[in-house]
Structure 1
């Protein structure tokens, strides 16, 4: 995976996260309370390019995600922590859903 951050620095990640739990059908309601995985960036993302295998249609895809200022605002605006509502938290994890035919959705 290649990532270009908002400051113009490029990073390459060669370790991918492995699927955890049930990943078919819907997003978990508790994802915001989980732990970050392997691929951690130090600055706000601008562009992410990654390749992935679809085991359903047996094809390899390359996807590009563009992060807008709206996304950056969500990541830099505090909100009540899910586990400790009196404490502020920040959105710092991007979940990416991959589907057959090269479909990608982030949340």
Structure 2
């Protein structure tokens, strides 16, 4: 659902036309190969000040190529629900890490450098000659509540890292919005012992 709320529109957002040439963008969540997690609630405020609330989200996908670190190419699954019309000013989402057996709350604030990238075609094209747009935002969720963000590219090209103005992850007593979505994960079929066989846990470098 969407709601109009102009007080949620920053001066930078109000000062430009952030209409996207391709209509809407989407976002997806991925995890390292064996370190599964689930996102169960998300909210996005776009550059028009619309608040999008997602209680149903596309499934979080394990990335088979991300074993000890993130791969250069990140994509995630096909988006059916995770779609927004204008670029994001703000996103917050609640996620359960089965590896950590914790609930995390991650929020990010984005600025005009991100919005402009979303409006501007790449300097390369698709094999068909069609323009490439940076219309897929991928969030990588890893142990310790570490989150990385990229724009997907095409034809095996490396994803483009996104640096939000601010990125914060909370857990435990610091949860705010996500207190209501705090999900017990102890009974999940995947145990830490299974994940960490033959590895020092938590393994890999997810910075």
With structure 2 as the length reference, what TM-score do the two structures score? 0.46
With structure 1 as the length reference, what TM-score do the two structures score? 0.83
Structural mapping, 1:11-22, within 5 Å: 11-18=52-59, 19=61, 21-22=63-64
Q: Is the 8 A contact 2:125 2:132 kept in 1?
A: yes
Q: Could you say what the CA RMSD is over the residues aligned between the two structures, in angstroms?
A: 2.3
- The runs of 5 or more residues in structure 1 that have no matched partner are none
Deviation of the 1:83 alpha carbon: 3.5
- How far apart in 1 are the matches of 2:65 and 2:93? 19
Which of 139, 147, 164 aligns to 1:104? It is: 147
Moved segments of 4+, more than 4 Å: none
Q: Is the 8 A contact 1:36 1:93 kept in 2?
A: no
Q: Which residue of 1 aligns with 2:31?
A: none
| DSSP 3-state at the match of 2:115 | helix
Deviation of the 1:61 alpha carbon: 0.3
Residues 35 and 16 (structure 1), Cα distance of their counterparts in 2 relative to 1, 3 Å cut: closer
* 1:21-43 deviations in Å (ceiling 9; x for gaps): 52633236373xx8544300011
Q: Whose Rg is larger?
A: 2
Q: Is the 8 A contact 1:49 1:62 kept in 2?
A: yes
Q: Which residue of 2 aligns with 1:4?
A: 45
